[in-house]
Amino acid sequence: MGFPEEKHLKKKAGWKEIPIGGTITTAGSSMLNKTGTWRAFRPVKDDSKCIHCFQCYVNCPENAIKSDGEKIQDFDLDFCKGCGICAKICPVKCIKMEEESKFIE
């Protein structure tokens, strides 16, 4: 098996277990690294105003906006870092950036 694996999310590997030189030997392993935790602001969309122009979709640097191919659906909060480009680019201003702290349960 390569490194990292799913199990390393819960328990980090020791120095004898990891490949040398910091080498990552699992392809596509960035899927395991949920960078959405870095977010300070969260995008919130008013679905009633959205015209599905896909401007947010093509401009999102993290590919964190979900679509079924015809309509904009939701945000992938595992990877959205809250940069706010989608809110800025939206021609009908249907995306607002809300403080992440509001969503802490």
Partner 1 sequence: MFMSKMKPLTGAYASAEAMRQINPEVVAAYPITPSTPIVETFAKFVADGKVDTEMIRVESEHSSMSACVGASAAGVRVMTATSSAGLALMWEVLGVASGMRLPIIMSLANRALSGPINIHCDHSDAMGARDLSWIQIFSEDAQEAYENTLLAIRLAEHPDVLLPTMVCQDGFITSHGVQNVTIHDDDVVKKFIGERKPWKSLLNLNDPVTFGPLELTDYYFETKRQQEEAMMHAKKVFLEVGEELSKITGNNYGYFEEYQTEDAEAIIVAMNSTAGTAKATIDRMRKEGKKVGLLKIRLFRPFPYEEIGKALSKARTVGVLDRSASFGAHHPLFSEIRNSLYDIDSKPKIQSYLYGLGGKDIFEKDIEKVFDELLEGNTGPTKYIGLRE
Segment contacting partner 1 by CB under 8 A, of 23-31, 56-64, 66-74, 77-85: 23-31
What backbone phi and psi angles, to 5 degrees, belong to 18? -80, 150
Cis status of the peptide bond prior to 61, with omega within 30 of 0: no
Told to check if 24 binds partner 1 by CB under 8 A, we report yes
Segment contacting partner 1 by CB under 8 A, of 6-14, 45-53, 78-86, 93-101: 6-14
* CB-based contact 64:80 (threshold 8 Å): yes
* CB-based contact 79:36 (threshold 8 Å): yes
The DSSP call for residue 9 is: H
Tokens representing 97 are: 């950036």
Told to check if 10 binds partner 1 by CB under 8 A, we report no
Site string for partner 1, 25-64 (x = CB under 8 A): x-x-x-----------------------------------
Q: Which residues bind partner 1 (CB under 8 A)?
A: 12-16, 18-25, 27, 29
